[in-house]
Amino acid sequence: MAAALKNDRLLRALRREPTDCTPVWLMRQAGRYLPEYRQTRGRAGSFMQLAQSPALATEVTLQPLDRFDLDAAILFSDILTIPDAMGLGLRFAEGEGPRFEHPVRDEAAIRALSVPDPTAELRYVTDAVREIARALDGRVPLIGFSGSPFTLACYMVEGSGSDDYRTWKRMLYSRPDLAHRLLDVNARAVTAYLLAQIEAGAQAVMVFDTWGGMLTPDNFQTFSLDYTRQVIAGLTAGIATRPGLQSVPVIAFTKGGGGWLESIAACGADAVGIDWTTSLHSARSRVGDRVALQGNLDPMVLLTDPATIERETKRVLADFGHGHGHVFNLGHGIVPATPPEHVQALVETVHSASVPYHRNGG
């Protein structure tokens, strides 16, 4: 049985329930900006050895919580674990980022794909979730995550990161049937993967649609959001059929998706993450109380100085304003050059400066 939560601010905020202050966690809060992470990474020998070791993944997941008064832990893993489990051969070359040895670019390769078993090929992830949940012992909620079907496909077709994902986008236009086949397999794989994380102890899950913002409005709906919607519907259905499994909040995040905020808010997620290019005030007025909002400090603010961080953090809090349903976060992941003491300044400011926005029922 899971330990009772000592700090449930995050879950309450995601469900738009009252909190004493605004909860805060940071995308990539476990990572290279922390010297203790770099030491653990050195012991592991490689990024994949680190991610595939439940003990080391637990260690680095908890490192930022031991430094900062964060309101959530997020599983240390990578969004590309699913395609790696499909046999694409993920590797991380120093200074080059992730690469697949076997990208999928033709009909035969795509039709050969199948949904990996999260209790087999991805067992190391679910084992890590269980170990992290035990180590947390109810300290804060644990967030599980996956890349969105569309974002996974971007890497699977290109074979690596890209400035424009031209090979994948060419397929969207010239062979939409193949694109949909790939996206459907990914959606079923993401659904199974997140359900397994929830069964293992994740108390919220997040779908990262990192590259959906590069699409045209019609293509975003057709090739990205429809498949995120399929994942969320699959989670709801899957939880309903598994005895003892309770619903958990789902966060949907599309980098560059501010233009489609209303549609994203209607996809079935409990919360929508937004980047720094969309005003929280504007987002709140557009979606009302349909969803909670997560965001949205520009990560580059953390490269400045404590006074600037305090000012900009207060600006983000004021932009959301009074009431509940706000989870403070960055508009994207923390950058490796961030000084840890700047994160400390951010977290302290969020907790202290947000209290007045939650008084008297908000």
Active site residues: 28, 32, 41, 78, 155
CA distance to 28, 191, 208, per residue, from 80 (Å): 15, 15, 11
Evaluate the omega torsion of the peptide bond into residue 296 and state whether it is cis, within 30 degrees of 0: yes
Q: For 234, list phi and psi in degrees, rounded to 5.
A: -65, -35
R_g over Cα of the chain: 19
Burial of 227 (0-12, 13-18, 19+ CB in 10 A): buried
| Pick from 271, 327, 2: nearest CA to 132 | 2
- Residue 74: strand, helix, or coil: strand
Residue 311: what residue type? R
- Residue 92: strand, helix, or coil: strand
Q: Strand 271-273 relative to strand 326-330: parallel, antiparallel, unpaired? A: unpaired
Longest dimension (CA), the chain: 61
Residues 6+ apart with CB under 8 A from 181: 110, 111
Alpha helices (runs of H) in 175-305, residue ranges in sequence order: 176-200, 217-219, 226-240, 261-265, 280-287
d(CA 190, CA 187): 5
Q: For 265, list phi and psi in degrees, rounded to 5.
A: -65, -20
CA distance to 40, 106, 172, 195, 347, per residue, from 223 (Å): 38, 18, 8, 22, 36
- Residue 275: strand, helix, or coil: coil
Alpha helices (runs of H) in 201-293, residue ranges in sequence order: 217-219, 226-240, 261-265, 280-287
| Pick from 348, 312, 337, 283: nearest CA to 38 | 337
d(CA 76, CA 132): 9
Token duo for residue 113 = 């794909």
